[in-house]
Chains A and B, each alone.
Chain A
Amino acid sequence: MIDTNRLYDIEVAAQSARALADKRFTDLGITLERVCDMALVAMVLTSGTADPTPNLMREGVRLAGILEGSPLCPTILFEQFDPMVRQRFSIAHELGHYFLHARRNESSVYITYLRCDQRRVDAEPTSDDTEAGDIEAEADAFAGAFLLPVDEVRADLAHFGKCVAFLAERYGVSEATMRRRLKALESVHA
């Protein structure tokens, strides 16, 4: 479990990133929609690239996503053969690492690439995730907050009633992601 104060910071970071994306999209004459192209969002936010890659792997481990390269122009890679909802979450997860964990001040230093194991990204919390500072759990929390903004989700819950399948489709996430986010909104953001 992530500490409540840290969770609040992550929520604020995700909201700020979303607002920044919204502003930059507006400047480009594009509307940031609920089911937006996350690869494009990542490129606009990081000034880097976001590319699908088949059989994404490092050191024999299959990965859902990678953040690597220069902090000024990072590269996000995500698994080409994953379902679309999974790819969107993986990109948002890597953005979580970018905003929360990458040391962006050391511009001459490469980001040690953050490899996100298929089994860990968007996973049900387990006892392994309970330690403080678990960056994968934090990046998941960021991705949830980025893709499912608290105010919009609450407004939709009031307007449409609680239907995980309907809301998951509306926001372009998996039902498991939506379920976890609703649980987080009930327990932490009450």
Chain B
Amino acid sequence: MKLVHLSDTHLGYRGQGIEKMVDDPWRPGVPIRQREADLMLGLIRAIDRILEQPHPDVVLHSGNLFDTARPTAHLLDFAMTQLRRLTEVGIPVVIVEGNHSSPRDRSHGHALRLLAHLPRVQVICHGAQRVQVGAILLHAFPHRALLEGFLPDRSELDLRCHNVLVAHGVADGLPFYKTGRPAVDVHVTNYATWYEYIALGHCHLFAQVPGTTTAFYAGATAMVTSGDFRPGHVFSFNRVIFDGPAVTVEREELETRPMHAYGLDDASKLSPAEVLAYLERQVTAVPPHGAYCQVVVEQLDPLARRSLSARAVEELFPSAAGLTVSLRAREQHWDAVRTSLLEGGDAVARFRQLVAQMDGDATFRAAVDALGTDLLARAAAKVAEADAATGGKDWEVEST
């Protein structure tokens, strides 16, 4: 018996940051964001691969087929067309609800249920449910069931079958498996020996749960959020073969858009021009063509940060498929400002020197200069007034 474990296809997610607009692979001429297209291609490629090889007895999707509980008509059409490619050659499909597919307002109904109108497609989106496909017995726990406290029950096992637990959640509550939107913890290690295979959904990267030999996240079929960004990572699905008591798990890797990281961990001593020069060298060595790219520059001097425009960085990546840029200035503590004001001896002169280095036009700088100089003069007058009253003892300024 063979089972294919797919998960987290997140159809409809559009990504964040700057992304190329491309043709919808399903509707030529309709522009969509690169991420949305890649997620659709991820499902198409996975099904292509499933159909290329000896057909499995069942294809299982362990949650978040769509990124939202209210997919568009176009996405429903797309998903049904892809599922039909499997069902029309006789492969049954079981789809389990994930946290993204679960409607918050239950009166709206469940969009996933529409898919169950296709022959050989079963959708599990309410309570825990058992589904038998030949000798494979699926014990499915959709997001809603886990939320309502349903738990795997050993008495539900049928030892004549290959028992498979399917759940959409966070294995053992481990932080690595958490994503942006919360899901229920599943105490997988408690059940690891009950089932021949545990099919998990929620984490977007392939993973075997530590302390088990049977529990696996299949991972997404393409990059979903920036949390999935891992240079060198290849998205995949799992092929599980039950041969008597032996279970073999094989990872089926899919064509994956490359991901590249660029940046500087400490740019505190660099000018904007130097930062751009380093980034340019990185881009020359690892061209961003057609890749998802992340640029993180840390610890910039606050003045350098103001002068360094994100646009200048973006211009180094014209051929990237997607780009996120993070330019972070080091924290400017008030103590540092105060020291810097005092170290020159004359607070007014030092202040005017700082204002002269500011960005902005001359009129703005002149206004800040006038306002600050006036405030400092008034502060000095107050100090002098207090000195006269106390003999200066309570108003000594520490200069170190």
Decide: A166 near B262, CB < 8 A? Known: A159-B281, A160-B281, A161-B278.
yes
- In Å, the complex CA distance between A134 and B216 comes to 33
Interface string of A155-176 (1 = CB under 8 A from B): 0000111111110111010000
Q: Tell me, yes or no, whether A8 is within 8 Å of chain B by CB.
A: no
Q: How far is the CB of A117 from chain B (nearest CB, A)?
A: 12
Q: Tell me, yes or no, whether A73 is within 8 Å of chain B by CB.
A: no
Q: Tell me, yes or no, whether A72 is within 8 Å of chain B by CB.
A: no
Decide: A165 near B266, CB < 8 A? Known: A81-B208, A85-B232.
no
- In Å, the complex CA distance between A5 and B281 comes to 36
The residues in A between 133 and 190 inclusive whose CB is less than 8 angstroms from any CB of B are: 159-166, 168-170, 172
Q: Enumerate chain A residues within 8 angstroms of B234, measured Cβ to Cβ.
A: 84
Chain B contributes a number of interface residues (CB within 8 A of A) equal to 29
Q: Tell me, yes or no, whether B231 is within 8 Å of chain A by CB.
A: yes
In the bound complex, do residue B231 and residue A160 qualify as a contact, i.e. CB atoms below 8 Å apart?
A: no
In the bound complex, do residue A160 and residue B282 qualify as a contact, i.e. CB atoms below 8 Å apart?
A: yes
In the bound complex, do residue B264 and residue A165 qualify as a contact, i.e. CB atoms below 8 Å apart?
A: no
Kindly report which residue of chain B lies nearest to residue A83, judged by CB atoms: B233
Q: Tell me, yes or no, whether B296 is within 8 Å of chain A by CB.
A: yes
The residues in B between 192 and 209 inclusive whose CB is less than 8 angstroms from any CB of A are: 206, 208
How many A-B residue pairs lie within 8 Å, measured between CB atoms? 60
In the bound complex, do residue B281 and residue A170 qualify as a contact, i.e. CB atoms below 8 Å apart?
A: no
Q: How far is the CB of B274 from chain A (nearest CB, A)?
A: 9
- Majority secondary structure, A binding face: mixed
Decide: A166 near B261, CB < 8 A? Known: A55-B213, A84-B232, A85-B232.
yes
Q: How far is the CB of B188 from chain A (nearest CB, A)?
A: 15
In the bound complex, do residue B264 and residue A162 qualify as a contact, i.e. CB atoms below 8 Å apart?
A: yes
- In Å, the complex CA distance between A161 and B282 comes to 9
In the bound complex, do residue A166 and residue B286 qualify as a contact, i.e. CB atoms below 8 Å apart?
A: yes
Q: Enumerate chain A residues within 8 angstroms of B262, measured Cβ to Cβ.
A: 163, 165-166
Kindly report which residue of chain B lies nearest to residue A182, judged by CB atoms: B265
Q: Enumerate chain B residues within 8 angstroms of A159, measured Cβ to Cβ.
A: 281
Interface bin, chain A: 20 to 34
Kindly report which residue of chain B lies nearest to residue A88, judged by CB atoms: B232
Kindly report which residue of chain A lies nearest to residue B248, judged by CB atoms: A54
Interface string of B300-323 (1 = CB under 8 A from A): 000000000000000000000000
In the bound complex, do residue A163 and residue B232 qualify as a contact, i.e. CB atoms below 8 Å apart?
A: no
Decide: A170 near B213, CB < 8 A? Known: A85-B232, A163-B262.
no
Decide: A163 near B286, CB < 8 A? Known: A81-B208, A169-B231, A169-B260.
no
In the bound complex, do residue B232 and residue A169 qualify as a contact, i.e. CB atoms below 8 Å apart?
A: yes
In the bound complex, do residue A166 and residue B263 qualify as a contact, i.e. CB atoms below 8 Å apart?
A: yes
Which of B211, B248, B251, B265 touches A164 (beta carbons < 8 Å)? Answer: B265
Q: Tell me, yes or no, whether B18 is within 8 Å of chain A by CB.
A: no
The residues in B between 206 and 253 inclusive whose CB is less than 8 angstroms from any CB of A are: 206, 208, 210-211, 213, 216, 231-234, 248-249, 251
Q: Enumerate chain B residues within 8 angstroms of A85, measured Cβ to Cβ.
A: 232
In the bound complex, do residue A165 and residue B296 qualify as a contact, i.e. CB atoms below 8 Å apart?
A: yes
Interface string of B253-297 (1 = CB under 8 A from A): 000000011111111001000000010011001100000001010
Q: How far is the CB of A125 from chain B (nearest CB, A)?
A: 21
In the bound complex, do residue A163 and residue B263 qualify as a contact, i.e. CB atoms below 8 Å apart?
A: yes
In the bound complex, do residue B249 and residue A170 qualify as a contact, i.e. CB atoms below 8 Å apart?
A: no
Query: Given A118-B210, A163-B263, A166-B262, list of 9 further CB < 8 A pairs?
Result: A55-B213, A84-B233, A160-B278, A161-B267, A162-B264, A165-B231, A165-B262, A169-B260, A169-B286
Q: Which residues of A approach B to under 8 Å, CB–CB?
A: 35, 54-55, 57, 62, 81, 83-85, 118, 159-166, 168-170, 172
30 A–B contact pairs at CB < 8 A? A35-B232, A54-B249, A55-B213, A62-B210, A62-B211, A81-B251, A83-B233, A84-B232, A84-B233, A118-B210, A160-B278, A160-B281, A160-B282, A162-B264, A163-B261, A163-B263, A163-B264, A165-B231, A165-B261, A165-B262, A165-B263, A165-B294, A165-B296, A168-B231, A168-B261, A169-B232, A169-B260, A169-B286, A170-B286, A172-B232
